[in-house]
């Protein structure tokens, strides 16, 4: 009996859409900036070093102002993060589908990529993760604000130190916005790509290491060019992972079509 010869096509790898990533980072930064502006206005309007006899009253006023700002933000974070996360995940999935669809068509495969239970579940999970991260941006910043305000009050209303500390907290927040946008763009891309491969019956992929990293993971460099289970991931450093799944990982992968 003559053996059946299988045909094999290796598709190009896809990187997360840079425009989607930039837009997400801009949204996160805008959220943090709004919280920061409100805090700085409150401090400017209410920060006056009192006479010793009025110290307790001044503490009460500042306490109420900061608590009110935090309470307002916690309320606003009930709905806004959900909208932001859905938009980001939807745009990431859309960019992947456009690239994958065009490549499949070029390779001779006519595929209509629609939302299915598999992709919907992947999107729901990604939205849930990002909602928590979005909430954490103003949440952590305002937590630092509360701490720094009271430290300055106890130090005798040291406005210079407070201003420096608030700028430090804002700087940390901006770095988190950049990291979250970069990290989640690769993670969501990887999750959605895995879901699409499952739907299309693609079981194999080839790891592609990103040359952009300043300090690349040696294990990821060694994995480049190797084939792995598209659903299970590749065994690297003792665990099965997907390209882009680890923080600051910019690796991608190429789908392998066999028929």
pLDDT in tens, 194-237: 999 999 999 999 999 987 767 889 999 999 999 999 999 999 99
The burial class, CB within 10 Å (0-12 / 13-18 / 19+), for 169 is buried
The pLDDT value given to residue 67: 82
The CA-based angle 63-65-66, given to 5 degrees, is: 70
pLDDT of 41 strictly over 50:
yes
Rounded to the nearest integer, the mean pLDDT of the chain is 87
Least confident of 28-32, 75-79, 189-193: 75-79
Q: Residue ranges of the alpha helices (H) in the chain? A: 18-46, 55-76, 80-106, 117-154, 159-200, 218-223
DSSP states of 172-205: HHHHHHHHHHHHHHHHHHHHHHHHHHHHHT--EE
Residue 2 pLDDT level (bands cut at 50, 70, 90): low
DSSP states of 26-43: HHHHHHHHHHHHHHHHHH
> Of 69, 95, 187, nearest to 133 (Cα)?
187
Residue 54 pLDDT level (bands cut at 50, 70, 90): low
Domains of the chain: which residue ranges? 17-201
Most confidently predicted of 69-83, 111-125, 137-151, 223-237: 223-237
Q: What is the mean pLDDT of residues 71-80?
A: 84
The pLDDT value given to residue 53: 45
H-run or E-run covering 227: strand 227-229
The pLDDT value given to residue 8: 83
The CA-based angle 214-219-221, given to 5 degrees, is: 55
């Amino acid at each position: 009996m003559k053996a059946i010869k299988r045909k094999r096509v290796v598709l190009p790898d896809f990187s997360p859409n840079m425009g989607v990533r930039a837009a997400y980072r801009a949204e996160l930064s805008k959220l943090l900036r709004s919280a920061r502006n409100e805090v700085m206005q409150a401090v400017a309007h209410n920060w006056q070093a009192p006479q010793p006899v009025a110290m307790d009253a001044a503490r009460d006023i500042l306490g109420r102002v900061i608590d009110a700002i935090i309470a307002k933000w916690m309320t606003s974070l009930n709905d806004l993060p959900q909208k932001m996360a859905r938009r980001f995940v939807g745009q990431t999935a859309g960019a992947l589908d456009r690239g994958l669809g065009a490549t499949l068509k070029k390779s001779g495969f006519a595929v209509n990529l629609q939302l299915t239970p598999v992709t919907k579940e992947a999107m729901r999970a990604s939205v849930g993760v990002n909602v928590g991260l979005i909430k954490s941006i103003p949440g952590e910043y305002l937590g630092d604000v509360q701490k720094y305000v009271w430290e300055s009050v106890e130090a005798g209303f040291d406005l210079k130190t407070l201003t420096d500390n608030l700028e430090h907290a804002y700087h940390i927040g901006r770095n988190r916005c950049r990291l979250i946008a970069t990290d989640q763009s690769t993670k969501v891309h990887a999750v959605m790509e895995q879901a699409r491969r499952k739907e299309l019956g693609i079981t194999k992929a080839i790891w592609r290491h990103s040359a952009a990293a300043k300090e690349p993971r040696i294990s990821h460099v060694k994995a480049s060019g190797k084939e792995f289970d598209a659903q299970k991931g590749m065994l690297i450093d003792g665990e099965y992972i997907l390209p882009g799944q680890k923080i600051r990982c910019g690796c991608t992968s190429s789908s392998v079509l066999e028929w």
